[in-house]
Structure 1
């Protein structure tokens, strides 16, 4: 356990950030899952936009790296294009 006042404060801040990161990551996973389930339907494009927004939000907040967000966005878009052309 933390002994100094500053260490106690850092522990509290870390706990708050952990909760925020879990919340953002959970909503990100949900948006991606909903899109993957809807690939091939008429509302897939709208759900893709929501997934893109969630990825950008997570990258902006520092929950995931910006290159990770870009890679995931590219793969999701590629999946929609494959279904549309296939």
Structure 2
């Protein structure tokens, strides 16, 4: 357990950051799930629209430090190739 005032403050800050990052991660996963559902239904227009909405959310997660840049790029690449193959 934190003893010094500084370590107590760091513990409080960590709790806040954890809550914010958890909310961001959840929001991004929701956007990704919408793309997955559109892909499963086979609706290319809906999948394209969902992907277009999910891309900036993923990259925002990168700038906020929730995801690594390569992770987000990989997810976008794989999803876009799946949307493209719906044809």
Superposition TM-score, scaled by structure 2 size? 0.91
Give runs of aligned pairs for residues 2-81 of structure 1, distance below 5 A.
Answer: 2-39=2-39, 40-41=42-43, 42-81=45-84
Deviation at 1:72, TM superposition (A): 0.5
SS of residue matched to 2:67: coil
Figure out how many residues of one structure are paired with residues of the other and give that number.
84
The two structures, once aligned, show a CA RMSD in angstroms of: 0.9
Structure 2 unmatched ranges of 5 or more? none
Superposition TM-score, scaled by structure 1 size? 0.92
Structure 1 unmatched ranges of 5 or more? none
